Amino acid sequence: MSEDRRQLADWIDQERRRIVDFFRGFIRCRSPNPPGDTTEAARFIGDFLEGEGLAFRLIAPQPTMPNLVAAFDGAKPGKHLVLNGHIDVFPVGDGRDWSRDPWGGELVDGKIYGRGACDMKCGTSASIFTYALLHRIRERLKGRLTLTAVSDEETFGPWGARYLMEHHPEVHGDCCLNGEPGSPYTIRFGEKGPLWLEFKIRTKGAHGAYTHATESATKLAQRLIGDLELVTEIEPKLSDNILRSLEGAREATDKAMGKGAADIVSKVTLNIGVIEGGLKVNMVPFACRFEADIRLPLGVTREQVMAEVKKVLARYPQASVEEINFNPPSYCPPDGAMVGIIQKNVEALRGFRPQPIVSLGGTDARLWRYRDIPAYVYGPFPTGMGSADEHVELEDFIHIVKVHALSAYDYLMS
């Protein structure tokens, strides 16, 4: 191990309490999206960077959703690595099901609790400390390191990473490292793409006793939803190296995302997230609407899915469909340079070799992949993500920080 690598690891051990305190304080900064106001969390990060003597820019096309961007150059030319993490989190609701304060950042029995603990203030904290620690040895580094701590990720909004990628090409880089939740046993090189559709059904409606007088919009919706399962039969077209990666990572995929994840990672899935219809129990409903979340695996296009949707709708003249949101599936090489670097560091630190997988959920890393820039995700388990008692194991958090710092160093010096 080089002296600089040893120094990075030593600093993380020596400053462990400060790193943990930052993470817990970050969780206490409320940044639920919606509504998406991240000003408190952005101020917290900015205060830390200023305290470290690190210059940064606030880029806020939407004032309540600021993005922090910082960059520095090493002493010699080289590669450009971008660290990316988001600072908005899922909302909590009434918090009744939580056993700990959702905004408390409590450390209990080796676990750090709070909304955003795993999604993704753990990973964003790792990015921030990776940036700060490598800045200390910048006179011995090659290349360029950029930090992007962004807002508006949870709703695929236009004011965060999307805005930066479209208007600030200086954040593109040669590679992106992201700390979204997955598992310490996996490296995400790709992700499925969400296609969100809204269906509306209209009929005449009638008194509830006069079922002969009209079709029921809710009953039609029920049948339509069943018929839409046709989209799950679409077969993806995948290259041999992607097929090998997916098959070789089945165990790791299930370990990261729950048993059964490996079975659906290469399949189109259909979820009806919202359904609304009817006004009163004794009225035949004249209107019904529902929203479908269709996840496209690698090797399936929106056009393929919509062709099947239109086949189904041809049998339902009372129904219409409108696209709400779409992000294509994305991937980069499963054997890219950063994958090997992360694997070697995890093996040295923990004794196992994380496997490259495709994720069921989405991240901002897709935005780099859309521009043919490799982007990889290495983060903690998604325990409680989007539900109650979200938390991260303390030792997993420290592990993620070390892996990000050492891997960023190795990438820049390669």
Q: For the chain, list the domains and their CATH numbers.
A: 3-191+330-413 (3.40.630.10), 193-326 (3.30.70.360)
> What number is the average pLDDT over the span 243-253?
91
Backbone angles phi, psi at 99, to 5 degrees: -90, -15
The structure tokens listed for 103 are 């905004």
Find the helix or strand (DSSP H, E) in which 186 lies: strand 186-191
Instruction: Identify the residue whose tokens are 């620690």.
Output: 133
Whether the predicted model's global pTM rises above the 0.85 cut: yes
> What number is the average pLDDT over the span 404-408?
98
Percent of the chain with pLDDT over 70: 100
In the predicted model, is pLDDT for residue 1 greater than 70? no
Alpha-carbon span 142 to 412, nearest angstrom: 6
> What number is the average pLDDT over the span 107-133?
98
In the predicted model, is pLDDT for residue 155 greater than 80? yes
Find the helix or strand (DSSP H, E) in which 8 lies: helix 3-14
Percent of the chain with pLDDT over 90: 94
- Given pLDDT bands bounded at 50, 70 and 90, which one contains residue 48? very high
The structure tokens listed for 372 are 């043919």
**What is the reported pLDDT for 2?**
87
DSSP 61: S
Annotate 137-152 with b (16+ C-beta within 10 A) or e (fewer).
beeebebbbbbbbbbb
Question: Across all residues in the chain, what is the average pLDDT?
Answer: 96
> What number is the average pLDDT over the span 328-352?
97
